[in-house]
A and B are shown apart, each in its own frame.
Chain A
């Protein structure tokens, strides 16, 4: 019979990992769980719902210096800045977050490989924790986008919690070689396979019908109504596990300074604004439509999967009550197949 781990075993394993890895896990924040580097397994929220923000910043930092320049020097110089990518374990990721991190791969790798993303990705081991219930039943819709909340297929190690009387036990399964390595000195042998989430339900959405509508009705005037509440604040992009658009700016003056890459959002009017004043997406509804099209049609057409993992954070975080599920259901309903 396979051995299930106790919480104490998980903590012991994590403590051992800390000797050689930076461990990033859910910890208590002012408004709920957040991702943080932990030095002591006791800080970790082993039983949590969903973090307020996605773990994306650990692979693509909010702000990242690219190089320093000194044009006033003789000779003028550009100094590449070292990429920070120490061995890291992202611990207790949900299925939606694992899928979000992996959705960055095709963009960061097609043709030109983004070196700092690649370095951090290679140095980071993803350890998932299956959801035995939807952390946010009204806004979680990962099943609708094809994920299993109980099984994160693309993680390196998957953990699922198994209730055992009053206690919780854990089934720990390596899914990749990197995962197997990290478990080689674990206090308990890993298991062979996950059981999966079973009946865990998330909000149903008919994504296929919504996509049919997107493909056939780009000019549907409904976008103006759908987008009326949108403030263009970009919060949805900043909490999203799969958004990846960025800005590049200089900090310094004409003599010396550094060039920095920062997170950006298609919700901002500046995003596509030409210096001439022309803006191909002049109104907020053009920009919100772009967001939905990118996630559910453009990226899938290009890379063969959705750019939304159904985590629902954008719905919970929107200060104006924009609801992606409602938007998708509305589009699907226009195709006559109400979920």
Chain B
């Protein structure tokens, strides 16, 4: 069946982000497919480690990088453990792109604020680079990114590059106790650092992605700064098998995260039965 058949991709490069997080740079094996492949920031794919199965991750590179795609994952399960042991030259499978995307056009002229924790940077890194590659279409770009420890920060080279840009304001932080002797960033949890920093909300859109506890405390912090729920975006993850609204496991209420998400505004999320376990 074509619907569930992945395309083969060759791993061009493997980058170790942290001891358990890796980034794979991927190109479609079949000639011409890479050139035809189109997606939008926020969409995801199902990545196959043959013999173990498929895992769902966002496409972590922006659509503005046409000659390859990247995915970044933490090795926590069967598939990700298998992917972790792949080397450049190895073959994996990919299905996608699936799901909705960030309405990039509607952000034109707006100031963008990214609030991100830990392994949740990859899904927003796609959007950040997409905006930076089209820099003159947007206003101020501000990023607050935190991780448990300095070692857990992903894309360290890119963080340095963003920090050095005059057209990006970047604040990095690690949880108390997670700092090293030469750590130059903040020490504190993302919501707290965000409140202290207090970036302006005028003409601004906020993007929040991180562990559930970070999101829970960042939402009220953003609202206090003046971001209304329709101007706060997030991207959800749930266990998926099909990615196309059939297998039934990613749904929250009547909403399929794979088809009607993964990108939601806080206003949309407030209509889903997510207050407790669902």
Contacts and interface: CB of A to CB of B under 8 A. Distances in A.
Interface stretch (B75-83, B130-138, B158-166): B75-83
Contacts of A254: 49-52, 82
B12 to A, nearest CB: 15
Interface stretch (A108-116, A126-134, A144-152): A108-116
A108 B1 CA distance: 13
B247 interface: yes
Contacts of B52: 250, 254
B278 A261 contact: no
Interface string B208-252: 000010000000000000000000000001110110111111011
A112 B3 contact: yes
Interface of B: 1-6, 8, 29, 48-55, 76-80, 82, 91, 93, 212, 237-239, 241-242, 244-249, 251-254, 259, 273, 275-278
A219 interface: yes
A276 B238 CA distance: 11
Interface of A: 66-67, 69, 71, 75-76, 78, 80-81, 83, 107-108, 110-116, 218-219, 244-250, 252-255, 257, 259, 261, 264, 266, 271-276, 278-283, 286, 290, 293-294, 297-299, 301-302
A13 B241 CA distance: 43
B51 to A, nearest CB: 4
Nearest to A266: B248
Given A115-B2, A246-B241, A272-B239, A298 B50 contact: no
Contacts of A255: 50-51
A334 B53 CA distance: 45
A279 B29 CA distance: 35
Contact of A69 (B50, B241, B248, B277): B50
Nearest to B247: A246
13 contacts: A67-B5, A78-B93, A110-B245, A114-B1, A115-B2, A250-B48, A250-B53, A272-B239, A273-B239, A278-B212, A279-B277, A294-B248, A301-B254
Contact of B55 (A111, A275, A278, A279): A275
Contacts of B238: 272, 274, 280
B245 A286 contact: no
Given A273-B239, A275-B78, A279-B277, 15 more contacts: A78-B93, A80-B1, A108-B246, A113-B3, A219-B275, A245-B249, A246-B242, A246-B247, A254-B49, A255-B51, A259-B53, A275-B79, A283-B277, A294-B248, A298-B253
A67 B93 CA distance: 12
Given A71-B50, A76-B29, A249-B53, A244 B4 contact: no
A290 B238 CA distance: 15
Contacts of B246: 107-108, 112, 114, 244, 246
A112 B249 contact: no
A199 to B, nearest CB: 37
A195 B4 CA distance: 45
Contacts of B241: 246-248, 264
A286 B212 CA distance: 19
Nearest to A218: B273
A252 B48 CA distance: 13
Contacts of B77: 275
